[in-house]
Amino acid sequence: MRLFLLPISTRRTLIYCQRLNVTTTNEQTNLALRWIDQGSIKASSLWAGWEKKESGWQKWLVDRGNAALRRIAYEEWGLKSIPALSTRRKEEELKEKGNRIVEVSFPRSLIPEETVTALLKKLGTERQGLHQRSLYWCFVGMPIAAPFGLVPIVPNIPFFYLAFRAYSHWKALSGSKHLEFLVDNKLVTPKPSKILDELYSTGKLSFDTPSVSTTEKSSAGLNDTEEKMILHESDGKRIAEALELPELDMELDRAVWQVERALKAEKEKKEEKKEEEKNNLDLANAEAQKKK
């Protein structure tokens, strides 16, 4: 497999895993994983069929569901792209330890090579607690939602949603632990990508901000006094095409959309706070004038 580090803003980076030479050996040794994967495929097929409907409750449900899926954190989707660490996979990767088998592609113009390992470690550990807690509460909620399945015709949406979220959190948690294992055992090799450098350079993509200088970067990714967007809408398609990873388009589009909304909300919150402080100051000055 190959890992990609793709800066979204001056402080946030998407990690994505491309699977190379995929085999079914590991899955065949774990029947439970095969059932889960088969169930996921069937669910995706059913969902795709509902998307084609022009109206009805299935179409309504798909529209609401797609909106909800887009709000699932892009960090979670990125970690889900990393395969779970089975016993067999762990043994195989440790055998290749001297070769550092997993390449990490990144734009060196934005991420210094010496910070890559620290960034991977951060991305692999910072959300483990969140996914563990969320997985637990999904398991708690599933038995509560199960009786809704007794209602005829209409599927048990609350139960299926909790089951999907449990699976999603498990996948993300498994991916994060695999990433942490790779870093701790020095199984990753940072490899600057000329393609990504070209894509991220001025003129290739429409940036609103110039490249971040080396002095402004940190081991947590890209750092700046004020967080700014690096990628924008439609940039994901160009990167996905250049890397020949069509599925990456959706991942980057989702990440850009989420980060833009987050930065907009933060900006509005700061402006509201400044306005509140200004009003409080004006009120205090007015009270002082009255006392005089």
Neighbours of 205 (CB within 10 A): 16
**Cβ proximity of 103 and 116 under 8 Å:** no
Contacts for 176 with CB less than 8 Å, ≥ 6 apart: 79, 82, 123, 124, 125, 127, 128, 131
pLDDT score of 29:
45
Tell me how far apart the alpha carbons of residues 136 and 127 are, in angstroms, rounded to a whole number. 14
Give the global pTM.
0.77
Crossing angle between the packed helical segments 248-291 and 235-243, to the nearest 10 degrees: 150
pLDDT score of 183:
94
pLDDT digits (tens, 9 = 90+) for 26-50: 444 455 555 555 555 565 566 556 5
pLDDT score of 43:
58
Crossing angle between the packed helical segments 157-184 and 87-95, to the nearest 10 degrees: 20
Residue 135 backbone dihedrals phi, psi, to 5 degrees: -60, -40
pLDDT digits (tens, 9 = 90+) for 216-239: 445 445 554 788 899 988 888 899
pLDDT score of 210:
39
pLDDT score of 227:
86
Query: Which residues in the chain come in under a pLDDT of 70?
Result: 21-53, 56-61, 97-100, 148-155, 202-224, 292
pLDDT score of 160:
82
pLDDT score of 105:
95
Looking at this protein, which amino acid is placed at residue 204? K
Average confidence score pLDDT of the chain: 80
**Cβ proximity of 82 and 17 under 8 Å:** yes
Domain count, the chain: 1
Q: Which three-class secondary structure state does DSSP give residue 52?
A: coil
**Cβ proximity of 16 and 254 under 8 Å:** no
Q: With residue 129 as reference, give the H or E element that holds it.
A: helix 128-145
Whether the CA torsion 45, 47, 253, 113 is positive or negative: it is: negative
pLDDT score of 265:
92
Say what the alpha-carbon torsion angle 202, 206, 208, 212 is, to the nearest 10 degrees. Answer: -30
Domain membership of residue 215 as a residue range:
2-291
pLDDT score of 48:
58
**Cβ proximity of 229 and 8 under 8 Å:** yes
pLDDT score of 152:
58
